[in-house]
Amino acid sequence: MKHEAHYSVCLREGEQPTVTTTEAIAVPKDVLVVGAESTCTRYLSTLVAINLGLIDSETAWDAVDKIEKHGTSVTHRSLPHGGRDNFVDLEYCKNFDLVLVTTRDQFCSLAGKARIHQNDRAKAQEEQDRAFAVLAEIVEHCGRVHIWNYEAASQLGETYHRQFFRRAGLPFRRHVEVNEINGKYFRGTT
């Protein structure tokens, strides 16, 4: 299956584009969704799997790391993954047609991580710093990478996802509402 991507450039009045292109991009067969813990990797993995036709329910992702069907797969990796010192590396990421990196407000993701995954705050910060370093390497060197942001998705909703999926070369057939998850870290702070 091919997906047509259109690239456009914002130009100042009177400028002409030097290059315009319309190219067919194959829908990726193997997608990796990766991010620091508590940056909504599971949410995005679910949304991608639904739109690739691998699952039909938001709850189908529970307790699995990879969903595969008919030669197409979506793999979910939080950093760290499966153990406190388990981080993916560049070689692992190069096994995928498409890598989607999840991001979220640093304070909120650290607070969520400390609440759910790593209750030692100093270790949580250390793991998050390492995750960001790994993600920077992935973004820099891993080929076809797109960065997804929770705050943008929660504010712009379906419009954000439609545009994000189009740019990533993914089909977009169904939207799953983004839950508001940052507020609990700000209530009573003003």
Kindly provide the residue ranges of all beta strands, DSSP E only, lying in 22-175, ordered along the sequence: 22-26, 30-36, 66-69, 72-79, 98-103, 145-149
Residue 158 domain-assigned (yes or no)? yes
Residue 19 domain-assigned (yes or no)? no
Which range marks the domain in which residue 109 is found? 2-11+28-180
Long-range contact set of residues 135-141: C-beta below 8 Å, sequence gap at least 24: 135/34, 135/35, 135/36, 135/79, 135/101, 137/90, 138/34, 138/88, 138/90, 138/93, 138/99, 138/101, 139/101, 141/90
Kindly report the pTM of this predicted structure: 0.83
**Residue 64's pLDDT is what?**
75
Residue 17 domain-assigned (yes or no)? no
Residue 172 domain-assigned (yes or no)? yes
**Residue 63's pLDDT is what?**
62
Per the structure, how many domains does the chain have? 1
**Residue 98's pLDDT is what?**
97
**Residue 185's pLDDT is what?**
86
Residue 16 domain-assigned (yes or no)? no
**Residue 84's pLDDT is what?**
63
| Separation between Cα atoms, residue 96 and residue 77, nearest integer Å | 13
The 10 Å Cβ neighbour count of residue 157 is: 13
Query: What CATH number should be reported for the domain holding residue 150?
Result: 3.40.50
Residue 188 domain-assigned (yes or no)? no
| pLDDT digit string (tens) for the chain, length 190 residues | 444 443 333 444 555 444 334 456 688 999 999 999 999 999 999 999 999 999 988 877 766 799 999 999 999 999 988 776 788 888 999 999 999 999 999 999 999 988 888 889 999 999 999 999 999 999 999 989 999 999 999 999 999 999 999 999 999 999 999 999 999 888 755 4
**Residue 117's pLDDT is what?**
87
**Residue 96's pLDDT is what?**
96
